[in-house]
A and B are shown apart, each in its own frame.
Chain A
């Protein structure tokens, strides 16, 4: 019971940061695309890498909450 609550908190709080980071990354990429549509090829790879790295933090939170549910409990 306690660890389920902890898992929910870990995932929910851990999703805040990556959410903000992803929002910033996507908005900047869209801004750049809107200003210069020809640059889409050059933007694509760094964009994917950036969102992957931001998302990894959320995945760490997911891993922690999975550990809390399946291992600790």
Chain B
């Protein structure tokens, strides 16, 4: 916060992740601790899951399988070629879910290192910050999703097909439509990353505010709400990535995607381009 008038404010809000220590050019921030923690939880979970696997799953295994089953059910109905990208989508989902929920553990925002700056102002730098409350993390995930759906789109329709998609249908409208389509491609990157970051960061600020205002029972309600939001945001990110990849793959196959193989795209077929023409009238 800029210029707190002398007194310490009750709520500590930092929009950027804070440095814990610096090794050369690498600033080791507290959100990196959160990301490493989330990866460790997922790796250990996977290892434990592997070891305990059996035909008749126990209660714990069944509980862990629930979100995976939910996502798997949704992804496998999204497109006929879901096997190619289900691993990526489930990876997004689990990583974001764990990264979001790590922020709700007790002690995450409160245990920290006291840092005294040049003016003698004391601030507490938390050791762990949930990774998805850092724009770098969410932007990284969004770049992975972006690169993958462009890659799959080019693989499915060819570079020419992808360029045709960007240019739009009436060829003479290209000077107008090409920049618009290009911007709309990149706006997916921005909106994917900003949505996740904004939600999780706003959730952190909301919790901090509520704990500062009414420390006893009220924050529990908001903690429950944040558990729900963490789940919904992980779901939303994974589903949007899935939809983008699904449309990129199926663009030129139209309604009869299940019947046709890879080779027979319909480059000259005008009625398959209806959706890309529609924005001109808006």
Contact = CB atoms under 8 A, between A and B. Distances in A.
B187 to A, nearest CB: 10
A40 to B, nearest CB: 12
B236 interface: yes
Helix, strand, loop or mixed for chain A's interface?
A: helix
B236 A48 contact: yes
B135 to A, nearest CB: 10
Interface in A8-66: 44-45, 48-49, 52, 55-56, 59-60, 62-63, 66
Helix, strand, loop or mixed for chain B's interface?
A: helix
Contacts of B78: 45
B15 A59 contact: no
A66 B15 contact: yes
A73 B2 contact: yes
B15 A62 contact: no
A58 B1 CA distance: 22
Given A45-B74, A48-B232, A66-B15, A55 B195 contact: yes
Contacts of A55: 195, 199
B239 A49 contact: yes
B198 interface: yes
B106 to A, nearest CB: 26
B235 interface: yes
Contacts of B2: 69-70, 73
Contacts of B195: 52, 55-56, 59
Interface residues of B, number: 18
Contact of B239 (A52, A62, A69): A52
A52 B15 contact: no
Given A45-B74, A70-B15, A73-B2, A60 B194 contact: yes
Interface in B204-238: 232, 235-236
A52 B194 contact: no
B232 A49 contact: no
Interface string B56-99: 00000000000000000010001000000000000000000000
B191 interface: yes
B202 interface: yes
B222 to A, nearest CB: 17
Nearest to B78: A45
A43 to B, nearest CB: 12
B239 A63 contact: no
6 contacts: A44-B74, A45-B239, A49-B243, A52-B195, A55-B199, A56-B194
Given A49-B243, A63-B198, 19 more contacts: A44-B74, A45-B74, A45-B239, A48-B239, A49-B236, A49-B239, A52-B195, A52-B236, A52-B239, A55-B195, A55-B199, A59-B194, A59-B195, A59-B198, A62-B198, A62-B202, A69-B1, A69-B2, A70-B15
Interface of A: 44-45, 48-49, 52, 55-56, 59-60, 62-63, 66, 69-70, 73
What 5 pairs across the A-B complex have the smallest Cβ distances? Answer: A59-B198, A52-B236, A73-B2, A70-B15, A62-B198
Interface of B: 1-2, 15, 74, 78, 191, 194-195, 198-199, 201-202, 232, 235-236, 239-240, 243
